[in-house]
Structure 1
Amino acid sequence: MMFGLDTSTKVFLYAKPCDMRKGFNGLFGLVQNEMELNPLSGYIFVFISKDRNKVKILFWDKDGLVLYYKRLEKGTFKRPTANVYAPNSELTQEDIYMILRGIDFEKTKKRKRYLSK
């Protein structure tokens, strides 16, 4: 469980590099206008800077927006392969956890598990 959210909460990555000067309103606008999603949906929205050393995560927490911001002092975040022509890419919470921890999840293999629906 990430940020105290249910494990079924969807995670969306903004496909393009993001200007990290954007705050709540600017990111809210990107989610609405470019990602074509509802910022108040309870989904997690991930934005990575052009130089990949900063990440912002925006989500609605029932009564207000929450903004998580991380800047690396050394190294970069692994940007998942995404279609830059698509408005967004859906990730799992495990994917974003690995991005934040510096793990290249595209090179890791997940063993098959039975998942009940």
Structure 2
Amino acid sequence: MLTIHPEKIYISSANVDMRKSIDGLSAIVEQNFKLNQFSNAMFVFHNRHCDKVKILYWDSDGFCLLYKRIEHGKFHFPRGITADKHTVTQEELSWLLHGLKIEEIHKYNSLKNAR
């Protein structure tokens, strides 16, 4: 089982050429996002049709690149993002990778100490 606990998860708002691999995607992180690609963060990229996703992260001694292609339908990335990148939680990334629309999911607030 693969367990990853990034401090932040960034989603690219722009389409990315899926022929890019670790070096090309890490260059986007550094040049376009102005972020450190060696940080404890995940960087999520998608193609024009939103049916392919690549996730790049640094794993203390090397880069890891995850690739997912959905066979039917597409991933529903957040719309209307004007910045180069957008942050999401691990839970939201999981929803996204399972084909759900992040904008339409409303989580109930915790009822700690409600009384």
- Does TM-score exceed 0.5, indicating one fold? yes
Judge conservation of contact 1:53–1:77 (CA < 8 Å) in 2.
Answer: yes
Is 1:4 the counterpart of 2:28? The answer is no
Judge conservation of contact 2:77–2:102 (CA < 8 Å) in 1.
Answer: no
Q: Which runs of 5+ in 1 are unaligned?
A: none
Is 1:69 the counterpart of 2:64? The answer is no
Question: What's the CA shift for 1:82?
Answer: 4.5
Query: Given the two structures, how large is their TM-score scaled by the length of structure 2?
Result: 0.89
Q: Which runs of 5+ in 2 are unaligned?
A: none
Question: What's the CA shift for 1:42?
Answer: 1.6
Aligned partner letter, 2:104? K
Question: What's the CA shift for 1:87?
Answer: 2.0
Q: 1:30 aligns with which of 5, 28, 31?
A: 28
Judge conservation of contact 1:18–1:47 (CA < 8 Å) in 2.
Answer: yes
Is the radius of gyration larger for structure 1 or structure 2? 2
Q: 1:109 maps to what in 2? A: 106
Q: 2:76 aligns with which of 78, 88, 103?
A: 78
Q: 2:15 maps to what in 1? A: 17
**Which structure is higher in strand share?**
2
Q: 2:91 maps to what in 1? A: 94
Question: What's the CA shift for 1:57?
Answer: 0.2
CA distance in 2, matches of 1:66, 1:100: 17
Aligned partner letter, 1:52? C
Judge conservation of contact 2:51–2:75 (CA < 8 Å) in 1.
Answer: yes
Superposed CA RMSD in Å reads: 1.8
Query: Given the two structures, how large is their TM-score scaled by the length of structure 1?
Result: 0.88
Q: 1:60 maps to what in 2? A: 58
Corresponding residue pairs, total: 112
Distance 1:93 1:30, change over 3 A: same
Question: What's the CA shift for 1:72?
Answer: 1.2
